[in-house]
Amino acid sequence: MANENVTHIFANCSFARDCWRVLDDAWQLSYVDSLANWLDKMMDVLSVHMLEKVVMVCWGLWENKNAMLWSNQCRDSTTLVQHVLFYAQTWQNLNATVNDTSASHMQRDSCWQPPPTGYYNMNIDVSMDINRRCMGFGWVIRDDYGKIVGVLMSRVSGLYSIKEAEAMGAREALSWINKKGWTRVILETDAQVVTQAVNNGDFLTLFGAIVYEIRVFLSELPYVHFPFVRRSSNMLAHVIAKRALCNVEGERVEYLDFLPRFLSLFGLI
């Protein structure tokens, strides 16, 4: 019903106005002649925190326009705003984690200990994306010198409980170790509830069924150990699991001959 230019898409479209009302229902919305002037005025009066939200909503509007054009899909205004704000918060949390990890690189090294001679060390973790209803799994393998020899990431659709997802990650890691023919591995997780269940037994629930499969793998791999470690010793796997949420769904990405560029960019290796 209107000429579709950038000012219309981001400011004057009725759908865009609905999104801005969701972001702040106190905003006075009038017709906008120039997007540049509109943004300049916002930069003069809004806080940096709110400006970040404005940028994310603009991004969401553009993504939504493309989804309508190419896939005939459209989020409602409330869902769109919630999605982009959740995405921004997740991104900020990840970067805060990465920055903290980089800043305390020497401290993290003192927390993580290399495995005994002849063993591999494999740290595993899982992350959740509630909005997109998917899980990311991240593994990092290091040798007895502490050198990273492999990174694996995968994204799985659906959401399990945290303990079920952590158990799934351990089961898949053990299955992968078994297929590789590795016999001496220290498999570390910061999910204490999983390691306790493996030691004590809990087989009456979905979680228990996964725990049972973990115990079967461990019985077949007598020199594979499955200890609990603190999050400070598991940070690299945590960052990789977060990154896995960006993967193509259902695809496991393995870096065994070279390391992913994002680790070197963040100063994690």
In tens digits, the chain (269 residues) has pLDDT values of 777 788 999 999 999 999 999 999 888 888 898 888 988 888 888 898 899 999 999 999 998 888 888 878 888 999 999 888 887 887 777 666 555 554 444 344 446 788 999 999 999 999 998 888 899 999 999 999 988 999 999 999 888 888 999 999 999 999 999 999 999 999 999 999 999 999 886 555 778 889 999 999 999 999 999 999 988 889 889 989 998 988 877 778 888 877 777 776 545 55
Whether residue 257 is contained in a domain is answered as yes
Same domain, residue pair 27 and 154: no
Same domain, residue pair 164 and 251: yes
Whether residue 101 is contained in a domain is answered as no
Question: Which of 63, 96, 129 is the last residue before a domain boundary?
Answer: 96
Q: Note down the domain range covering 59.
A: 6-96
pLDDT score at 256: 85
The tokens describing 12, both together, are 């004057």
pLDDT score at 261: 73
pLDDT score at 110: 43
Same domain, residue pair 119 and 220: yes
Whether residue 92 is contained in a domain is answered as yes
CA 259 to chain CA centroid, Å, is 18
Same domain, residue pair 129 and 78: no
pTM above 0.85, yes or no: no
Q: Nearest 5°: phi and psi at 87?
A: -60, -45
The tokens describing 215, both together, are 């115990």
Torsional class of 157: left (φ above 0), alpha (ψ -120 to 50), beta (otherwise): beta
Same domain, residue pair 198 and 250: yes
How far is Cα 241 from Cα 128, in angstroms, rounded to an integer? 9
Least Cα distance to 166 among 144, 132, 204, 198 occurs for 198
User: Please, what sign has the CA dihedral across residues 121, 114, 142, 134?
Assistant: positive
Same domain, residue pair 82 and 129: no
* Domains identified in the chain, total number: 2
Same domain, residue pair 71 and 111: no
Same domain, residue pair 148 and 231: yes
Same domain, residue pair 208 and 137: yes
Same domain, residue pair 138 and 115: yes
Helices 48-71 and 14-23, packing angle to 10 deg: 140
